[in-house]
Amino acid sequence: MGLCCGLNFIFALLKRESSQLEIRVLREVQSQQNKEEKEFKCPIEQGNGNFADPVTCRRFYQCVDGFPYLNRCPSGLYFDDIQKYCTFKAEAKCGPLAATPTATTESPIDLARKCDQSECQLPYCYCNKDGTLIPKGLDPEETPQIILLTFDGAVNLNNYEHYRKVFNGKRKNPNGCDIKGTFFISHEYSNYQQIQTLANDGHEIAVETISLQMGLQDKGYEEWVGEMIGMRSILKHFSNVSANEVNGMRAPFLKPGRNTQYKVIEDFGFIYDSSISVPPSPIPVWPYTLDYKIPHECKSGTCPTKSFPGIWEVPLNAHFVESYEGGHCPYMDQCVLHNHDAEEVFAWLQEDFERYYYQNKAPYMMPFHTNWFQIKELEKGLHKFLDWTQTMPDIWFVTVTQALTWITDPKTNKQLGGYEPWNCKSKTTQTPKPCNISNKCALSFKEPTSNISDTRYMETCFDCPAVYPWLGDSHGSGIPGRDNYIDQSEGGPGSAASGRDQGEDEE
């Protein structure tokens, strides 16, 4: 067992190393580093490689062209400064030790190529030159207009009733089913009974991260695994949402984690990412797979540069109107509509929407934070817009996964009446009904960076955990660093299937 896991971890490390080496081409991108990282200076004379963190043996830095990426050893393991990887405590020589020359492995830079439509075929691959073409060459007239309502962050008392008013049970799709949305959940302050209700109602539950930490785009593989797979595990453990229903990911602050985040998506069996924003453009972009180069400018500067075959990107097209009144924004609540009344907000949304509806019918994504719902006129304007869409025969509010299912095998408006994947009658959701009365847990919480203990309240239909769940301890067991998603997987992290099993939880 010890041998298997140690080797698997080394394997993971080597894989990651090669996937991060091309970050050099993004060198000009200056990122906000947190203090710890600023203080660590890569020893230039030693080149690329792993270096002990002077503060703790549980972490190490991976230097790529003089740039330090902070990594944590998986639970129970320590960084060995001689062999330069994480291993069992008894075997680890904690550093930093006097400089020993390290082998610097150079790997060829394998950047994604330009879209080759002859090689890229649905259902596995979708690309075109500027990303604006309708799949399967459907005519816009016969293409359904998809609207993706997405909500980011914690779900709790501040927003839950507002979200329920959007999904009020009266608004229907053309097939008579209730309209649906997608929730990208972050952990802190979330209410897991409410999340379970949303999942049971047929909305899609996806992950943002546990901690919403800043600067995650510059962190290493373990950090992304801890945030994403940890969040998936929390949803399973406290909302009964099965890991194989959690297909999607959105990076906090729309800062994708370069190739590292997409490697995690690939290794742990996610289907799509929705973190990449598209600058304002006259014709909106359809979702595409990451087999090839992304077909538009990367605004964040931290998009993946390698090919990730079959992984879908559901981009955030910029919202704007022709006059640029209100500016342009990926999140609806980032446009400046605060001095608009409800009618004006409605008119603004309509004009923005018509750029899709009267052109290429690209899915109209409406990404929200709680903020939108804190301003009455914005909320009212949204309700006016949603009611107006009910008068149109070809507008569908579906989850991101339902939209992708359609894209892989497009159907015309006429064929959608009995289209099974968008039907609500034939299937029930996997997430069971939540309890009527949840456990209201008051839990102690110590942020790793501070020594002050705090209390967090968490509601769930499950038993209260010992402490507030957090990075490295998604069950709230009280044993920091208990989680280990990497060195236990049978096939190593390269195997999506085993990654999926890991996410499903240990029990």
Ligand X SMILES: *[C@@H]1O[C@H](CO)[C@@H](O)[C@H](O)[C@H]1NC(C)=O
- Taking the least distance from each CB to ligand X, the nearer of 145 and 474 is 474
Stretch that binds ligand X, among 113-121, 362-370, 408-416, 428-436 (CB under 6 A): 428-436
- Taking the least distance from each CB to ligand X, the nearer of 339 and 451 is 451
State in angstroms the smallest separation of the CB of 452 from ligand X: 7
- Taking the least distance from each CB to ligand X, the nearer of 105 and 430 is 430
State in angstroms the smallest separation of the CB of 154 from ligand X: 21
Point out which residues pair with 365 in neighbouring strands.
Answer: 148
Stretch that binds ligand X, among 182-190, 325-333, 411-419, 429-437 (CB under 6 A): 429-437
Stretch that binds ligand X, among 65-73, 74-82, 353-361, 431-439 (CB under 6 A): 431-439
Q: Can you say whether the dihedral through the CA atoms of 62, 67, 68, 71 is positive or negative?
A: negative
Q: Other C-beta atoms within 10 Å of 464: how many?
A: 15
Share of the chain residues as helix, strand and coil, in percent rounded to the nearest 5: 30, 15, 50
Using CB under 6 A as the binding rule, the residues of this chain from 394 to 423 that contact ligand X are none
State in angstroms the smallest separation of the CB of 241 from ligand X: 9
Q: Does 4 bind ligand X (CB under 6 A)?
A: no
Q: Which of 436, 449, 455, 507 binds ligand X (CB under 6 A)?
A: 436
- Taking the least distance from each CB to ligand X, the nearer of 58 and 263 is 58
Q: Which of 76, 310, 432, 494 binds ligand X (CB under 6 A)?
A: 432
- Pseudo-torsion of CA 396, 382, 321, 155, nearest 10°? -80
Name the nearest CA neighbour of 446 among 475, 480, 420. 480
Q: Does 451 bind ligand X (CB under 6 A)?
A: yes
Number of shown-chain residues binding ligand X (CB under 6 A):
7
Point out which residues pair with 458 in neighbouring strands.
Answer: 441
Counting every residue, how long is the chain?
Answer: 507
State in angstroms the smallest separation of the CB of 10 from ligand X: 35
- Taking the least distance from each CB to ligand X, the nearer of 46 and 439 is 439
State in angstroms the smallest separation of the CB of 378 from ligand X: 34
State how far the Cα of 42 lies from the Cα of 55, in Å rounded to an integer.
Answer: 15
State how far the Cα of 40 lies from the Cα of 296, in Å rounded to an integer.
Answer: 35
State in angstroms the smallest separation of the CB of 460 from ligand X: 8
State how far the Cα of 45 lies from the Cα of 55, in Å rounded to an integer.
Answer: 22
Q: Can you say whether the dihedral through the CA atoms of 455, 457, 458, 463 is positive or negative?
A: positive
- Taking the least distance from each CB to ligand X, the nearer of 105 and 444 is 444
Name the nearest CA neighbour of 36 among 53, 57, 58. 53
- Taking the least distance from each CB to ligand X, the nearer of 197 and 275 is 197
Q: Contact at 8 Å (CB) between 212 and 365?
A: no
What are the Cα distances from residue 252, in Å, to 228, 249, 306?
Answer: 11, 10, 21
- Taking the least distance from each CB to ligand X, the nearer of 300 and 429 is 429
Which residues, in sequence order, are CB contacts of 360 under 8 Å at separation 6+?
A: 132, 133, 134, 140, 283, 284, 286
- Taking the least distance from each CB to ligand X, the nearer of 148 and 199 is 199
DSSP letter, residue 286: P
Q: Contact at 8 Å (CB) between 275 and 120?
A: no
- Taking the least distance from each CB to ligand X, the nearer of 76 and 432 is 432
- Token couple for 250: 């959105």
State in angstroms the smallest separation of the CB of 433 from ligand X: 7
Stretch that binds ligand X, among 93-101, 166-174, 430-438, 478-486 (CB under 6 A): 430-438
Q: Which of 461, 467, 471, 486 binds ligand X (CB under 6 A)?
A: 461
Q: Does 435 bind ligand X (CB under 6 A)?
A: yes
The DSSP code sequence of 37-66 is HHH----GGG-SEEEE-SS-TTEEEEEETT
Q: Which of 40, 388, 445, 462 binds ligand X (CB under 6 A)?
A: 462
- Taking the least distance from each CB to ligand X, the nearer of 48 and 431 is 431
State in angstroms the smallest separation of the CB of 451 from ligand X: 4
State in angstroms the smallest separation of the CB of 127 from ligand X: 38
Using CB under 6 A as the binding rule, the residues of this chain from 207 to 246 that contact ligand X are 240
- Token couple for 430: 């996997």
State in angstroms the smallest separation of the CB of 400 from ligand X: 23
- Token couple for 14: 């080597």
State how far the Cα of 294 lies from the Cα of 284, in Å rounded to an integer.
Answer: 14
Using CB under 6 A as the binding rule, the residues of this chain from 349 to 388 that contact ligand X are none
State in angstroms the smallest separation of the CB of 425 from ligand X: 21
State how far the Cα of 60 lies from the Cα of 481, in Å rounded to an integer.
Answer: 15
Stretch that binds ligand X, among 48-56, 290-298, 330-338, 432-440 (CB under 6 A): 432-440
- Taking the least distance from each CB to ligand X, the nearer of 62 and 193 is 193
State in angstroms the smallest separation of the CB of 227 from ligand X: 24
Residue linked to tokens 């290493």? 220
Residue linked to tokens 């073409």? 133
What are the Cα distances from residue 286, in Å, to 53, 310, 343, 392?
Answer: 43, 15, 29, 21
Q: Does 97 bind ligand X (CB under 6 A)?
A: no
State in angstroms the smallest separation of the CB of 450 from ligand X: 7
Q: Where would I find the beta strands (DSSP E) of 416-498?
A: 439-446, 453-460
- Taking the least distance from each CB to ligand X, the nearer of 239 and 334 is 239
Point out which residues pair with 368 in neighbouring strands.
Answer: 151
Interface residues toward ligand X, by CB under 6 A: 240, 432, 435-436, 451, 461-462
